[in-house]
């Protein structure tokens, strides 16, 4: 068996992991006699439910520490497992007497998820609550005046000094009830608050037209009079603007930050009950759950906005703007990938080609053209300019151009088929972007592309660990370029793998430096060392007699 064949046969039996990927989450073993109750008396879950009032959304106090206990309902459900079952059902009193004993058996369960420091984990929300949380985020951004995702909160030092002069928290018994009463009294806002609301409304409309901001579009559904009432409540409390302190050391528990928290929760509830906010898909049950809203506010402001604000403070808004541009390019590339794969499925082309088309990283990204006006040389008004992808086989580029032409022809035949994709200028590619040179790494859903996605020169210049990784699929998608003509392509485009490899594939594989079985074994041994936490194999730097002498050509420079 030749070295490529040996590598192919061995690679199909291994689960390859990219050199930069992380190891899967490990499981922990917990003995059956581990105590399940930490204290006597009422269960902590019942206490948290009492603390949250009518809120039963998360099952635990969002802002407090998490305590895992056995509730009364769970104790009434039946006896516990193991030897403790003979002693009777597991209850709070039994847990207070001592830990339950078991037969010594151990059960496997996944490591419990660590709770995040501020608020609750948004993944625990129901779909209805998640929609409400998305609307609540946009509403908080509107109060702050952050109408896009590229802007952060500035320092609040001046506002803190002004607050200390106007508001004394020691004179208020219950700040939340006090602020709710202030919000209720501000249904008829003063002229200054109305002017602030008018300015915000104009900014929302301008941002919505300028960049099609989803945040501005959502905020445009809230009436101007509601923002005026919210600004009036802030003025009566001694706040000149809605600016939480995310840069200082006071933290979420300071009186200044708590005032912002209560204003956001109270005015959001008022907006949902008075104006409906149906376009923001907010349920009244969610809007009146003050404990949950407060926890979500802490998570969004003191984690999400605080992290983004610190990045803007260190690097400026250009960093976030570039991140947003790259994220939009990834989304456009994913939509392009889906369209091409669907067309390839209709054309019944070879599966190795489909594996290339199914990976978004195999497709080129694009950039917004600086001059989108139509010129005499370009009869089409292009909006996006494709970027060059140097690592990709030019034959794959030819295939996707054919698929794009077939997709466009179908769209032209059905003019009312919905929104059509913007045309891309492909004849003169722009220089590679940050996305253009990223390898199509494997994940749980997308398979590796065939080896001839790369040009032979590019693949052979990779390090051995990368060549081992990408030689996991040594099937071939394309024949030699002399067979990729209009007359020859129909002869192989639908061939099965066995016939294709016999007629075209072996010639192509001979051009690639596929790792040998020894190189694969050495790489796997190194991966196992890393997974086990062992130190890498020490590098031998001693002189030996069997080293190859350097070639004269290498010594000239």
Where is the domain boundary, 315, 330, 365?
A: 315
Residues 348, 471: one domain?
A: yes
Task: Determine the 3-state secondary structure of 368 from DSSP.
Answer: strand
Give the pLDDT score at 189: 52
Q: Are residues 372 and 225 in the same domain?
A: no
- Is the same domain home to 288 and 243? yes
Q: Are residues 355 and 457 in the same domain?
A: yes
Give the helix/strand (H/E) hosting 386: strand 384-387
Range of the domain at 355: 322-531
Please check whether residue 180 lies inside any domain of the structure: yes
Chain-centre distance for alpha carbon 510: 40
Six token digits for residue 43? 């269960």
Does 540 reside within a domain? no
Does the residue 163 lie in any domain?
A: yes
What are the residues facing 386 on neighbouring strands?
366
Same domain assignment for residues 328 and 272? no
Domain end point (choices 315, 349, 383): 315
| Residues across the chain | 557
Give 96's Cβ-side CA count (13 Å radius): 9
Please check whether residues 261 and 143 belong to one and the same domain: yes
The position carrying tokens 């590098």 is 539
Shared domain for 458 and 347, answered yes or no, is yes
Q: Are 227 and 350 within one domain?
A: no
Q: Are residues 284 and 381 in the same domain?
A: no
The number of domains in the chain is 2
Q: In 10 A of CB 546, how many CB atoms?
A: 4
Q: Which two tokens stand for residue 291?
A: 């404990």
In a domain, 454, yes or no: yes
**Residue 329 and residue 283 share a domain:** no
Q: Which residue has the tokens 């009312």?
A: 416
- Cβ(426)–Cβ(386) below 8 Å: yes
Backbone angles phi, psi at 368, to 5 degrees: -70, 130
Question: Sign (positive/negative) of CA torsion 147, 148, 154, 156?
Answer: positive
pTM here is 0.46
Q: What gap in Å lies between CA 385 and CA 427, rounded to an integer?
A: 9
Domain-located, residue 17: no
Whether 202 maps to a domain, the answer reads yes
Quick check: is 137 in a domain?
yes
Residue 310 sits in the same domain as residue 354: no
Q: Which of 275, 295, 315 is the last residue of a domain?
A: 315
Q: Which of 333, 324, 429 is nearest to 382 (CA)?
A: 429
C-alpha 352/C-alpha 440 separation (Å) is 15
How far is it, in rounded angstroms, from Cα 454 to Cα 159? 57
Note whether 243 and 156 are same-domain residues: yes
Radius of gyration of the chain (CA): 31
Assigned domain for 337 exists: yes
pLDDT by position in tens, the chain (length 557)? 444 444 444 444 344 445 444 444 444 334 444 444 433 333 333 333 333 333 433 333 334 333 333 333 333 334 344 333 333 444 443 333 344 444 444 444 455 454 444 456 667 788 888 888 888 888 888 888 887 777 778 888 888 877 776 665 555 566 677 676 666 655 555 655 566 666 766 666 554 434 456 777 777 777 777 788 888 888 777 788 888 998 876 678 888 898 899 889 988 887 777 765 555 567 888 888 889 999 999 999 998 888 888 877 765 554 455 666 777 788 888 889 999 999 999 999 999 999 999 988 898 887 666 554 555 555 556 677 788 888 899 999 999 999 998 988 888 888 776 677 777 878 778 788 878 888 887 655 778 889 999 999 999 998 888 888 888 777 899 999 888 888 888 889 888 888 999 899 889 999 999 888 888 888 888 888 888 877 766 666 666 655 555 544 444 43
């Amino acid at each position: 068996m030749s070295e490529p064949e040996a590598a192919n046969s061995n690679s199909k039996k291994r689960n390859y992991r990219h050199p930069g990927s992380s190891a899967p989450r490990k499981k922990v073993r917990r003995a059956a006699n581990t105590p399940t109750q930490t204290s006597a008396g009422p269960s902590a879950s019942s206490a948290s439910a009492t603390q949250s009032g009518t809120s039963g959304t998360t099952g635990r106090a969002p802002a407090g520490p998490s305590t895992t206990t056995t509730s009364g309902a769970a104790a009434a459900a039946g006896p516990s497992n193991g030897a403790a079952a003979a002693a009777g059902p597991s209850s709070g009193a039994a847990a207070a007497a001592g830990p339950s004993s078991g037969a010594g058996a151990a059960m496997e369960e996944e490591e419990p998820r660590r709770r995040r420091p501020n608020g609750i984990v948004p993944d625990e929300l129901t779909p209805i609550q998640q929609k409400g949380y998305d609307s609540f985020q946009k509403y908080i951004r509107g109060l702050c005046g952050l109408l896009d995702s590229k802007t952060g909160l500035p320092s609040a030092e001046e506002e803190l000094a002004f607050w200390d002069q106007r508001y004394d928290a020691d004179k208020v018994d219950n700040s939340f009830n006090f602020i709710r009463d202030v919000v209720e009294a501000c249904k008829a806002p003063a002229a200054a608050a109305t002017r602030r609301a008018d300015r915000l409304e104009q900014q929302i409309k301008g941002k919505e037209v300028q960049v099609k901001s989803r945040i501005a579009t959502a905020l445009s559904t809230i009436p101007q009079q509601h923002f005026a009432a919210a600004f009036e409540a802030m003025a009566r409390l001694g706040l000149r603007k809605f600016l939480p302190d995310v840069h200082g050391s006071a933290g979420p528990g300071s009186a200044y930050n708590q005032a912002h928290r209560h204003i956001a929760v109270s005015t959001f509830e008022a907006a949902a009950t008075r104006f409906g906010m149906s376009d923001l898909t907010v349920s009244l049950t969610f809007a009146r759950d003050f404990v949950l809203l407060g926890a979500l506010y802490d998570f969004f402001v003191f984690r999400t906005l605080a992290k983004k604000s610190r990045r803007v403070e260190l690097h400026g808004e250009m960093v976030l703007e570039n991140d947003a541009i790259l994220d939009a390019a990834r989304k456009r590339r994913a939509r392009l990938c889906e369209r091409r794969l669907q067309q390839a499925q209709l054309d019944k082309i070879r599966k190795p080609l489909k594996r290339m088309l199914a990976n978004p990283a195999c497709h080129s990204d694009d950039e917004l053209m600086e001059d989108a006006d139509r010129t005499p040389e370009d009869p089409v008004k292009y909006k996006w300019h494709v970027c060059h992808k140097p690592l990709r086989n030019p034959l794959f580029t030819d295939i996707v151009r054919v698929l794009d032409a077939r997709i466009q022809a179908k769209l032209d035949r059905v003019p009312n088929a919905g929104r059509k994709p913007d045309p891309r200028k492909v004849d003169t590619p722009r220089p590679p972007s940050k996305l253009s040179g990223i390898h199509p790494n494997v994940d749980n859903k997308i398979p590796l592309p065939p080896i001839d996605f790369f040009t032979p020169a590019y693949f052979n210049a990779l390090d051995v660990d990368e060549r081992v990784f990408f030689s996991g699929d040594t099937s071939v998608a394309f024949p030699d370029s002399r067979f990729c003509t209009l007359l020859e392509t129909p002869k192989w485009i639908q061939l099965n793998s066995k016939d294709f490899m016999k007629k075209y594939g072996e010639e192509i594989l001979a051009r690639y430096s596929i790792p040998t079985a020894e190189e694969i074994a050495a790489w796997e041994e190194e991966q196992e060392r890393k997974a086990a936490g062992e130190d890498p194999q020490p590098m031998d730097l001693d002189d030996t007699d069997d080293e190859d002498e350097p070639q004269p050509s290498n010594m000239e420079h």
